[in-house]
A and B are shown apart, each in its own frame.
Chain A
Amino acid sequence: MSLLEIENLSLSIHDKTILKDIDLSVASGEVMALVGESGSGKSMTALTVMQLLPHGARAEAGRVAFDGIELLGAPEAAMCRLRGKDIGMVFQEPMTALNPVKTIGEQVAEGIRWHTGASRFDAETRARTMLERVGLPEKHFPLTRYPHELSGGQRQRVVIAIACALQPKLLIADEPTTALDVVLQTQILDLLRDLVDENRMSLLLISHDLAIVAEMADRITILRDGTVMETGEATDTLVKQRHPYTRQLAQASTHVPARARSGGYRSEQKPLLEAEGLTRDYPIRRTSLFSRAKFLRAVDDVSFSLCAGQSTALVGRSGCGKSTLARMVLALDRPTAGAVRFMGEEISTRSHEALRAARRNMQVVFQDPFGSFNPRHRVERLISEPLHLLDERPDRTRRRDLVAEALAQVELSPADMNKYPHEMSGGQRQRLSIARAVITRPKLIVADEPVSALDVSIRAQILDLFADLNERLGMACLFITHDLTVARAITDTVMVMHEGKIVEKGPTNAVLTQPRTEAAKALVAAAPDLERALEARLAGKTRESC
């Protein structure tokens, strides 16, 4: 009998159906991955098991049994005995998952005390051991630390320590690494795998990322719009791709846009953009009134150049300074030292007015397709905002023509001009961002994590669009990303950034296949790659069977 059995589960929130006839089982000691795009009902399935559903959610039908105990309709007291003791849960957002006013020691020890009735001292001893186990040794991370004194990755370790403190039979991890960069992701996944092996826990791993799943899972369940598409042995399911949706997901996550690798640029050209010795310091809070003001060097003496039509990725871990660098390139932030030359002219010290010409030729696309638009304006007004940079303001008809043209460039219909952004999907909005960026026909587009907030299938389409625009309109692109698959897909060259410095640069293929620096090696090793993961799993299997 399986440890967790979900049969025909249907769930609705405020009469809106979220889950339909879900079947799912997790055997003892098994890693089951629950995969799906956003809105597929993965998290709601997990919260049903925990019986921590939001207000208004109601299980319409089906049964959920854990270790022989019926969970649907179980009394709250019984659930309290299970939660934290037999079922632990790790959440997606480590920054908000810990109580900011309690020390990490208290937060780990609390569950131990509650379930075992241990004394404060004993519970703290166990908490100490547990924190040590998840990689937070007391020497560096005493129990008296508060969450705000830890980084995102460290906080996620604390959350894992809380969930695993009592060696639960089942651990549920809901997108445990989505908010972390790739290097941290590998570390946290390794930790989870080790804990599961050591304690013979079952793991229900919820993820949108097939590459992670291919590495971690024994079995896999694919969810779409609240219905199970396919269930099966993980490697087999992902290799054979019998179900069309499975195939679609797999193809999207390994998608590489077809593009002429040159992108139409020749390196002997005069550079379009040059950064020289760029440095940016941020003041940090003084610890004492009388100590000298300290600075955090976010970007440290960075120099590089970019030619017309060149597509370059700036990759690095979160907090390495890549977004700060991008903002200085865009003249949205002033460097502490150094210079930015765009089309041969120094722009970093220019006044607002004097930047008009440069801005016309340099546009930006952001990560969040929801936050990139003023929700009160219609598409026409949103897309035409950069037209304000033209010396000659176009009249109304001309403006509409330009907007229609820009929409056509990103494969949207001119009729979309009269819509509001909230009437469009995430993918369409990211197209709008690009349309706004290309309307002045700039020579350079800076894209800050342009696809990392998108589902895999949409992500593939947007990557195609970028590749196409780069080729067709000959625009240079600077992609800022922590994800090497993006870099691999659409760039000619790569710059690797680490702790404020550019540590390695070169042709994309060369850097990704033969990284020279530690930072680049770590990024390459950590990058989730479905094909590689499957190959490794299959190789492992063949070895076992020999």
Chain B
Amino acid sequence: MSLDPVSSSVPERHVLLKALGNRSFLAGVIITGFIAAVALLSFVWTPYDITRLEVSERMQGLSLAHPFGTDHLGRDILSMVMIGARNSIAVALVAIGIGIVIGVPLGTWAAARGGLADDVLMRVNDVIFAFPSLISAVIITAIFGPGAINAIIAIGIFNVPVFARVARAGALSLWPREFILAARAAGKSRVLITIEHILPNIMSLLLVQGTIQFALGILAEAGLSYVGLGTQPPMASWGRMLFDAQTRLVVAPHLALFPGLAIVITVLGLNLLGDGLRDVLDPRLRRA
């Protein structure tokens, strides 16, 4: 999993050509792009209004009017899946944002300072790693009650040490490099070196990790909503839809099918994108 951050850089044009030739990357971009487009579309248009309940049309199978059928309250499942995409992506993205904004400065700072600062950061990381998102969400929900914000915070907290570790490992591998020594000999301060040399060179590592965390965030959000710790009704969310589908599995299995497929496709797309990025940016594979 270790990318060599520095040599993974070639002029941007070259990377683009290379990326377009990578099947993983291409498939990832197409799938992720499609899901993102659907999520954006849901802001302006969905086939049905999901806040209106049509009890007369409840639990219908697949039809032209309702391609994915309807749920136990008569809501159109396609529309709900579309809105669920929006929620999942929003939660996962904000959680990544939290991870990057807190984790990356911490990680690069620990690598630049070394010594005690580094030790403290690693210990704090160990502690947070012992709290998977679900457990954080349990704690937060127990105090504040359930809600989508809890999911964001819980997933975000877990992202912090992940990004801190990646940033620290990348930065640590760079600090003894000769071009960094040269920059130090040129009188640049640690902060300046971090901004000018370290950050641009660990960007690819962060990008790859970002897509991985994105995928994990989608899965975590679905899991939390499924057990009632995440997005709350009447807001549509894939996890919640699966929860509602569970008790009706015998009579209406399609209720469970489409939200699940939506999760699988989204996560698959993101993982393919991450793999593709890694292949494109990883110097060792490129040389072969």
Q: Does A55 contact B (CB under 8 A)?
A: yes
B1 within 8 A of A: no
Q: How many residues of B contact A (CB 8 A)?
A: 22
A contact residues, total (Cβ < 8 Å)? 29
Q: A388, B187: Cβ atoms under 8 Å?
A: yes
Q: A55-B288, A371-B178, A422-B10 are in contact. Are A376 and B201 (CB under 8 A)?
A: yes
A474 to chain B, nearest CB (A): 20
* Interface residue? B143 (CB, 8 A): no
B: residues with CB less than 8 A from A are: 6-7, 9-11, 177-179, 181-189, 196-197, 200-201, 288
Kindly provide the distance from the CB of B193 to the nearest chain A CB, expressed in whole angstroms: 10
Q: Which of A360, A362, A372, A389 contacts B182 (CB 8 A)?
A: A372
* B21 to A: closest C-beta gap in Å: 15
Q: Are B7 and A375 in contact (CB under 8 A)?
A: yes
Is B201 a contact partner of A374 (Cβ separation < 8 A)? yes
The 9 tightest CB contacts between A and B, nearest first, are: A366-B178, A386-B186, A359-B187, A371-B178, A372-B178, A364-B185, A389-B187, A375-B9, A385-B186
A 335-360 binary contact with B (CB < 8 Å = 1; else 0): 00000000000000000100110011
- Is the beta-carbon distance between B188 and A388 smaller than 8 angstroms? yes
Residue contact A374 to B187, C-beta cutoff 8 Å: no
- Please name all residues of chain B whose beta carbon is closer than 8 Å to the beta carbon of A375 when the two chains form the complex: 6-7, 9-10, 201
User: A420 to nearest B CB, angstroms?
Assistant: 6
Q: How far is the CA of A243 from the CA of B156 in the complex (A)?
A: 68
A366 and B182 in contact (CB under 8 A), knowing A56-B288, A375-B6, A385-B188? yes
A374 contacts which of B10, B189, B197, B288 (Cβ < 8 Å)? B197
Residue on B with the closest CB to A433?
Answer: B182
| Closest chain A residue, CB of each to CB of B185 | A364
Flag if A366 contacts B188 (CB, 8 Å). no
16 contacts between A and B (CB under 8 A): A356-B187, A360-B187, A364-B181, A368-B178, A371-B178, A372-B179, A374-B183, A374-B196, A374-B201, A375-B6, A375-B7, A376-B200, A376-B201, A385-B186, A388-B186, A420-B11
Query: Across the interface, which residues of B come within 8 angstroms of A364, CB to CB?
Result: 181-182, 185
Nearest A residue to B10 via CB reads A422
With a CB–CB cut-off of 8 A, which chain B residues contact A433? Answer: 182
Interface flag for A177 (CB, 8 Å): no
Residues in chain A near residue B181, CB distance under 8 A: 332, 364, 366
The CA-CA distance from A433 to B215 in the complex, in Å, is: 43
The residues of A that contact B186 with a CB separation of less than 8 Å are 359, 363, 385-386, 388-389, 436
Of residues 46 through 99 on chain A, the ones whose CB sits less than 8 Å from some CB of chain B are 55-56
The answer to whether B184 and A332 have CB atoms under 8 Å apart is yes
Give the nearest-CB partner of B197 in chain A: A374
Interface centre among B6, B181, B182, B196 (most CB of A within 10 A): B182
